């Protein structure tokens, strides 16, 4: 069976798209191609601008971890996106895939549906899978103001309802989005695929325990922009710099990077805030070792409340690191049921500060138990080895 994934807003090093789903399907014997955006030189870059791979003209073709990759330079504006839509949907229909797997709710899904229609006219029946990583109406709602929030919200609900009619199967990253889809089309088949870690790649080890009188090491995996609590965290570290260290497992970019460097120099935080730089996916697990608390500090927005949980939650749990997270529905469900962390009301400095003060007073055995609970939950319920069985089963049903 030939599978074509379309992921216009993800990189070639993306955890869910590439390292989990695409490679799992490839390892199960499926012929997998992935369509991505690349730069004008057909180079596939990471979030920090580092080169992952380089394709060749005219379609950016290259091989990566056994996958066939195609890339098209990104175009701006409505007419640019329209041209991209026509170009990529026409191209992927020539791949003659059996399944088109779209990872975004707008351009990628529209491309997959058009490719399906083109092939149907030629006498071939292809399937479309929509992989809903997020809550689709959330982002446009959050970006709008005033009455436009509600106009965009209802527009996207209507658009989603239309698209769902043309989709044969849907994966979501949580039960909230699954419920949203079922309200649009109650007979649609929907599976929840959590962003669990690959245990073969990230084997569990004993959780790291903080030694007496040593610093409490907080970590944040991934990019850390202002809207994920950067300013609040830096202020908290200023207060606790003699007893707490912030380790950014990833990096800070753009205006945030300039601001952070100034704050570090201004307040003498060179030994209290450490960045690893952007890491290849395979190295994330090792970088979490020796950390004591994992942070998830999303701002209060519809997208953040109803989407998720992010990869970092499961990576923290797998590493045996208790979690401090803003109290959003999916985060609450997992953290309270598994007893693997602490919920705070918001990303304010006072909320973060109070949680850290409480943790500093806790006996280390309590943190160890939360870390152990998280590891057990990953092993029994959330590991990628559990999730990939659902995906492979779905694809196997299409091939019957």
The answer to whether residues 33 and 164 belong to one domain is yes
- Angle at CA 346, nearest 5°, toward 344 and 347? 105
Q: Is residue 209 assigned to a domain?
A: no
In which band, very low, low, confident or very high, does the pLDDT at 213 lie, cut at 50, 70 and 90? Answer: confident
d(CA 83, CA 65): 30
Together in a domain, 263 and 344: yes
Which pLDDT belongs to residue 331? Answer: 98
Same domain, 393 and 372: no
Rounded CA separation 87/75 (Å)? 11
Other beta carbons less than 10 A from residue 349's beta carbon: 17
**Cα dihedral value 144, 146, 148, 152, nearest 10:** 60
Asked if residue 371 and residue 388 are part of one domain, the reply reads no
171 and 300 assigned to the same domain: no
Query: Residue 208 falls within a domain, yes or no?
Result: no
Is 8 inside a domain boundary?
yes
Residue 287 vs residues 232, 278, 302: alpha-carbon distances, Å: 23, 11, 31
Mean pLDDT of 17-26: 98
- Give the contacts of 151 (CB within 8 A, at least 6 positions apart): 144
Whether residues 283 and 336 share a domain: the answer is yes
Task: Assess whether 391 and 364 both reside in one domain.
Answer: no
**202 in a structural domain:** no
Regarding whether 243 and 125 lie in a shared domain, the answer is: no
Residue 108 domain-assigned?
yes
- Banded pLDDT at 384 (limits 50, 70, 90): very high
Candidates 47, 339, 351, 15; CA nearest to 173 is 15
SS3 state of residue 225: coil
150 and 249 part of one domain:
no
Mean pLDDT of the chain: 96
Count the domains in the chain: 2
Q: What is the pLDDT of residues 184-212, one digit of tens each?
A: 999 999 999 999 999 999 999 999 888 88
Q: Do 181 and 314 belong together in one domain?
A: no
* pLDDT tens digits, one per residue of 256-302: 999 999 999 999 999 999 999 999 999 999 999 999 999 999 999 99
Q: Which residues of 86-119 are buried (b: 16+ CB within 10 A; e: fewer)?
A: eebbebbbebebbbbbbbbbbbbbbbbbbbbebb
Q: Residue 362 is part of which domain span?
A: 216-382
In terms of residues, how long is the chain? 400
Assess if residue 84 is contained within a domain. yes
The predicted model scores a pTM of 0.96
Find the CATH number of the domain harbouring 69. 3.40.50.2000
53 and 23 in a common domain: yes
Residue 335 falls inside a structural domain: yes
Q: Can you tell me whether residue 248 is helix, strand or coil?
A: strand
Are 147 and 254 in a shared domain? no
Helices assigned H by DSSP within the chain = 23-27, 77-94, 107-121, 138-143, 147-165, 175-184, 230-240, 254-267, 284-287, 302-306, 311-318, 329-338, 349-361, 364-377, 384-399
In a domain, 207, yes or no: no
- Is pLDDT of 381 > 90? yes
């Amino acid at each position: 069976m030939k599978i074509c994934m379309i992921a216009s807003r993800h990189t070639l090093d993306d955890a869910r798209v590439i390292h989990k789903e695409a490679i799992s399907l490839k390892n199960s014997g499926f012929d997998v191609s992935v369509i991505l955006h690349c730069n004008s030189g057909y180079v596939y870059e990471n979030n920090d601008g580092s080169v992952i791979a380089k394709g060749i003209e005219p379609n950016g073709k290259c091989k990566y971890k056994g996958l066939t990759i195609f890339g098209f330079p990104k175009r701006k504006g409505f007419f640019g996106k329209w041209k991209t839509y026509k170009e990529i949907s026409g191209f992927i229909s020539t791949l003659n895939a059996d399944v088109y797997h779209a990872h975004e709710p707008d351009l990628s899904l529209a491309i997959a549906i058009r490719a399906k229609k083109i092939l149907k006219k030629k006498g071939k029946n292809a399937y479309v899978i929509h992989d809903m990583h997020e809550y689709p109406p959330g982002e446009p709602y959050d970006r709008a103001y005033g009455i436009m929030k509600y106009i965009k919200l209802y527009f996207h609900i209507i658009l989603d309802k239309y698209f769902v009619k043309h989709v044969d199967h849907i994966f979501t990253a949580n039960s909230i989005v699954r419920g949203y889809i079922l309200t649009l089309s109650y007979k649609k088949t929907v599976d929840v695929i959590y962003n669990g870690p690959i245990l073969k790649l990230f084997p569990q080890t004993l959780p790291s325990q903080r030694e007496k009188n040593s610093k409490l090491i907080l970590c944040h995996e991934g990019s850390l922009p202002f809207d994920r609590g950067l300013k609040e965290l830096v202020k908290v570290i200023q207060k606790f710099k003699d007893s707490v260290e912030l380790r950014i497992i990833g990096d800070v970019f753009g205006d945030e990077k300039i601001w952070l460097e100034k704050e570090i120099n201004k307040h003498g935080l060179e030994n209290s805030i450490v960045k690893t730089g952007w890491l290849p996916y395979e190295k994330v697990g090792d970088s979490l070792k020796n950390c004591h608390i994992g942070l998830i500090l999303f701002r209060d927005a519809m997208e953040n409340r109803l989407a998720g949980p992010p990869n970092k939650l499961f990576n923290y749990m797998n590493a045996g690191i208790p979690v401090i997270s803003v109290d959003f529905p999916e985060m609450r469900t997992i953290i309270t049921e598994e007893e693997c962390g602490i919920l705070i009301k918001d990303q304010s400095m006072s909320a973060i500060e109070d949680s850290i003060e409480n943790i500093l007073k806790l006996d280390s055995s309590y943190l160890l138990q939360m870390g152990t609970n998280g590891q057990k939950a990953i092993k029994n319920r959330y590991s990628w080895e559990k999730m990939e069985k659902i995906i492979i089963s779905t694809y196997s049903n299409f091939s019957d």
